[in-house]
Amino acid sequence: MIHDQRSGLAGYVSGLLSAGRTVFTADEAEQALDVGRGALLDAAERLQRRKALVNPRQGFYVVVPPQFASWGAPPPSWYIDALMHYEGQAYYVGLLKAAELHGSTHQAVMEFQVLTAKRLPKIRAGRNLIVFYFRKDMEAVATGIEDRKTDTGTMKISSPALTALDLLRYPQASGGLDNVATVLSDLAEKIDPQQLAALSVTVERPVVQRLGHLLDRLGHEALTEPMQQVLQARGSPPWAELDRQEARDPDFAPEPQERDSRWRVIVRRVPELDE
């Protein structure tokens, strides 16, 4: 059978939207339309030029509904779960994006941040930027990963406890110490202290020390007590800098303002919260 590839793919895409679907793979479309890969790629390129389709990964397509035409793509939450299944990778939405989903509203999050067990390049899809951060021990933090409903299904996100630990573990993604402290001030009341303690064994001890110090500074000593007990069970930790960047060059590092003996943290500058 001979098809008009352009109208055929456009009709296929419209049918997906009518059925509530916004993603498809090249293999699915080829089978449904009975076309070869070259013809499909040509038709898909035409739809991409018309801003009706985006191609975040080779062989994986996202339909752009009319209401998101000006954005160039629907929100990543609409397709991140399907994309990661296509990649065959465990994942969770984390860091500042997870904090936002848990109610932290102080800062607009510019990246859709995803942690996964494979190093993946970032994706630009319309106005959205999806950035991947590598975590090899995904199974170790499984108890801190939750399912969150989206407009098209579900996606996996880090719990408040895992989010808090990750904010200190991935400082390059967290916007600096002041921003981390501000986000933690929003997040703290939602953190389960027992889960925080259990997950703390999956990260390096300085991460636990820094998080414990910041939460105590914010007035949440009761929240950190179980985590403190777990930390001590791992042996008395060496002193850790609260902000590694400030202590990187000993000749220019400011003198310590404080030494937190409970967490063995050296504070050279007290974090400032964005009120």
Distance CA 40, CA 20 (A): 22
Domain boundary among 72, 107, 126: 72
Q: Please report, for the domain that includes residue 29, its CATH number.
A: 1.10.10.10
Q: Are residues 68 and 150 in the same domain?
A: no
Q: Residue 1: enclosing H or E segment and its boundaries?
A: none
Q: Closest Cα partner for 128 from 169, 170, 70, 176? A: 70
In this predicted model, what pLDDT tens digit does every residue of 2-28 receive, in sequence order? 344 445 999 999 999 999 899 999 999
In a domain, 273, yes or no: no
Asked which of 55, 72, 89 is the last residue of a domain, the reply is: 72
Q: Is residue 272 part of a domain?
A: no
Same domain, 85 and 61: no
Would you say residue 39 lies in a domain?
Answer: yes
DSSP H or E stretch at residue 91: strand 91-93
Same domain, 212 and 188: yes
Lowest mean pLDDT among 46-55, 140-149, 205-214, 239-248: 239-248
Question: Would 274 be classed as within a structural domain?
Answer: no
| Residues 54, 107 share a domain | no
Residues 49 and 111 in one domain: no
The number of domains in the chain is: 2
Residue where a domain stops, chosen among 29, 49, 72: 72
Residues 62 and 194 in one domain: no
One domain for residues 132 and 235: yes
- Compute the radius of gyration of the chain from its Cα atoms: 23
Partners of 156 in the β-ladder: 147
Q: Is residue 275 part of a domain?
A: no
The confidence score (pLDDT) of residue 249 equals: 65
In this prediction the pTM is 0.92
Q: Which of 131, 138, 137, 127 is nearest to 112 (CA)?
A: 131
Expressed as residue numbers, the domain containing 208 is: 78-267
- 41 & 150 share domain: no
What residue has token string 């777990």? 230
Domain match, 108 and 206 both? yes
Please check whether residues 67 and 101 belong to one and the same domain: no
Residue 88 lies in a domain: yes
Residue 61 included in any domain: yes
Average pLDDT, the chain: 92
Structure confidence by residue, pLDDT tens digits, 104-156? 876 678 899 999 999 999 999 999 999 999 999 999 999 999 999 999 999 99
Shared-domain flag, residues 161 and 66: no
Tell me: do 229 and 155 sit in the same domain.
Answer: yes
Q: 248-260 pLDDT, tens per residue?
A: 666 566 788 899 9
Least confident stretch, 160-164, 238-242, 250-254: 250-254
